[in-house]
Structure 1
């Protein structure tokens, strides 16, 4: 399995720029982004971020107003602040993933593109050749799913470990899996054609 990476200047939604990045005869089968958290009325505005960040503060103020014992107030306030702070971090991280990442399945490759500065600017893309024997692992969750199709070695606390690579936070994994399998079928056809030429 081949992984390649490159950095280029484009907007994540610019079809002309994407056409320039594809090889001759390569077409896009599917594109999408990591799904946003499924919270009522959630959007990607600054007010969402402000609202999420204000939740821990609001609960801590309520605890201090309703609980008379200072020690209990401190423990409950700190615990609530940490828990809600982590929840706020999770929501903000998902929003950022949605804004700055784009997944692409082509007739030849699976591509993960990241735009660190937002929807425009320098885009870093990593791609993996889709072969007929590429393993596809669907991991389903309550709201979203992931599809792993490769792995990479990462340094973790003094030793190397294998980490799965793929598309995360998929709202419609069935469609993505179908596109990946279509690309695998096309690779099988290309391989068969090459073998026939050598017979």
Structure 2
């Protein structure tokens, strides 16, 4: 009976061995600012700043007693929520991405690829067997990224008529921004090909 490495007891299959482990680079990706989200963030921040300025001007010139005054006191809260959303879209998402990468760990074994995450103390481990990797690609660079799976995520959107519609987006999954991407890519490709050959039916 083989002994699993410390921390992997009860996770790895019999005979499964670790080939590589690493973490994504945690540098800020400033090029991500070139995105429609950045312009949406500018709009949200500008709109909420205009909103808050107008609300405070109204509150300063009226009697805040009664139900009407209470209603106007709620308006700044809406503005602050919009402003916070704008700040996140404008640049906060870059720092959140850094935080997520700092709490992400990658492992490649003879049987599968593993992605472990622990944002806000919530630990999660996902396994991607070689047999599930129908597409494999390398974004070469230093650091580089290896994509080997996709995840379908559904979300609700609304048309101008107010009707809700469910949309599905394909989210690429892989080892993001690792320093030795080429070497890991070769390891992953070779073991994926071996797994595919072994599972192919014999003519």
1:114 matches 2:104: no
TM-score by length of 1: 0.55
Residues 117 and 161 of structure 1, relative CA distance in 2, 3 Å threshold = closer
CA RMSD of aligned residues (A): 3.5
Higher relative contact order (CA 8 A, sep 6+): 1
Whether the aligned pair in 2 keeps the contact of 1:132 and 1:184 (CA below 8 Å) is: no
1:132 Cα deviation from its structure 2 partner:
9.0
In structure 2, the partner of 1:161 is: 169
**Rounded Cα–Cα distance in structure 2 between residues aligned with 1:36 and 1:185:** 31
Task: Provide, for residues 91-148 of structure 1, a one-character-per-residue CA deviation record: whole Å limited to 9, x for no partner.
Answer: 4531x23431111111111111111245xxx63111111039631111245x432221
TM-score by length of 2: 0.54
Moved over 6 A (4+): none
In structure 2, the partner of 1:181 is: 189
**Rounded Cα–Cα distance in structure 2 between residues aligned with 1:26 and 1:174:** 23
**Rounded Cα–Cα distance in structure 1 between residues aligned with 2:129 and 2:191:** 10
Gapped regions of structure 1 (runs ≥ 5): 1-13, 40-81
Whether the aligned pair in 2 keeps the contact of 1:132 and 1:185 (CA below 8 Å) is: no
Residues 101 and 17 of structure 1, relative CA distance in 2, 3 Å threshold = same
Q: How many correspondences in the alignment?
A: 136
Gapped regions of structure 2 (runs ≥ 5): 30-86, 158-165
